[in-house]
Amino acid sequence: MPKKELEIIFSKTFPDLERTAESGDIDSQYRLATLHHRGRWREKDIDKAMYWFEKAAEKGHSDAQFYLGCIFSNDDFSIQKPDYDKSLFWIKKAAEQGYARAQYILADIFIGHEYEGITASPDEILSWLTKAASQGFLDAQRTLAICYDSHHFDSDDEGIFPLSGMDDWLALYWYEQAAEGGNSRDMWALSCFLIDFPALLEMSQYWLKMAADHGHLQAKESFAQVLLDDEDPKSDLLGFEHLISAAESGSPEAQSSWARLLRDGILVESNLELSNYWLTICSINDEGMDSGEVLNSRFRLVDLDVEEYKSFPSDSEEEVFDFDRLEKESLSGFNGQKVIVALRHMDDMEFPEAKSLLKETVEVSGGVTDFLLGVCHEALEEYDDALSYYGFSVGKGSLAALEYLASLKKKRWSLLNVESR
């Protein structure tokens, strides 16, 4: 439904909601408070939000109690000064009614000592965490698992908070509960926990595969290594599939591993040009370097200096790192070669040529090419396009692009301020 029609409908229902709230209906009071707090369909009004939240909270509405407690903590900077006593009072009220999120937040406040002067005993913290975790609240399950996990902390570390004793079986129980929720992060955590127990290795590999199948990048890379280390040749193909999938999804570890296999010809035919491409991608994802630093890091990563790499013989005894040949072959459609040639142009400050080549690969090369295109556009002072490509790359998980995006935004802001004077 178009927004204008929604606004017309809501303008008619809002007064009805106000009337039912005034009459004492606690659900209406809570809904009205939420609308004022979020600024939905009406201008945000924190005073009205707190008024209606408090009305509903005083009558036992657990959601209203929880959100009122959050407002008093000033977690969204809605009020000028936090009131931790009132915050704790209302969050605890919601927790006592069985509100799982409030139970977890209450424990988290105690664990992190977030409210000055407010503490709780380890038994009370464990009690709130267990109540929330027993209702399926994932963050509580994760926290409990870590608290009980004797392998998670150093021998001198008492954990997140002082425990009378850690219990790996309880840790296993809560790791499993979290993993069964379907999140790849929790499957990965369970697999890592189980690997410390030789008798449970098969179970560890099961959850490792589950995490990999659900898209966890570290799990994909680790599961690929498990398969490639297997003596069964049939495992190699599946191992390569997981390794390449993780590399293409942006895992620097997988990109580096795949590059080394290609460099050394382990289980695959040696391909130094393709190895060079993946080390380029890895160094961009892992370090956030500029193009000149990326070229230097490629040689460092393969444990060869520049001159050694240029003279490294291939099977045909011809020079491997021949940019002129690569430039010709890049026209045939191999995207890795195009990226390498584009990097050469960038090092020579030939940004229009680099930009042209990169735009031919952007559809298939993902966030790395978006990042490099952003660098080219910024060098050419095409700032709007640079911001767009950095944004695309950030959306695909590039930390390097995030740094460049923030820097360019700051630069644009400074330029706009100068122009406005």
What was the pLDDT predicted at 166?
66
Can you name the CATH fold of 322-421? Answer: 1.25.40
pLDDT at 383 over 70: yes
Contacts of 211 (CB under 8 A, 6+ apart): 184, 185, 187, 188, 191, 219, 223
Arithmetic mean of pLDDT, 121-136: 91
Residue ranges covered by each domain of the chain: 1-97, 322-421
The pLDDT score that the predictor gives to residue 210 is 94
Tokens of 390: 């950095």
Among 67-76, 161-170, 247-256, the minimum mean pLDDT is found in 161-170
DSSP code of 164? S
- Mean pLDDT value of segment 79-86: 84
Share of the chain above pLDDT 70, in %: 73
Say yes or no to pLDDT of 336 above 60. Answer: no
Specify the pLDDT at position 324: 46
Q: Which pLDDT tens digit goes with each residue over 147-171?
A: 888 766 543 444 455 455 568 888 8
* Residue 47: burial class (beta carbons within 10 Å; 0-12, 13-18, 19+): exposed
Average pLDDT on 201-213 reads: 92
Q: 1-97 with 322-421: one CATH topology? A: yes
pLDDT at residue 152 in the model: 61
Which amino acid, one-letter code, is at 217?
L
| CATH code reported for the domain at 1-97 | 1.25.40.10
> Which amino acid would we find at residue 15?
P
pLDDT at 313 over 50: no
**pLDDT for res 103:** 95
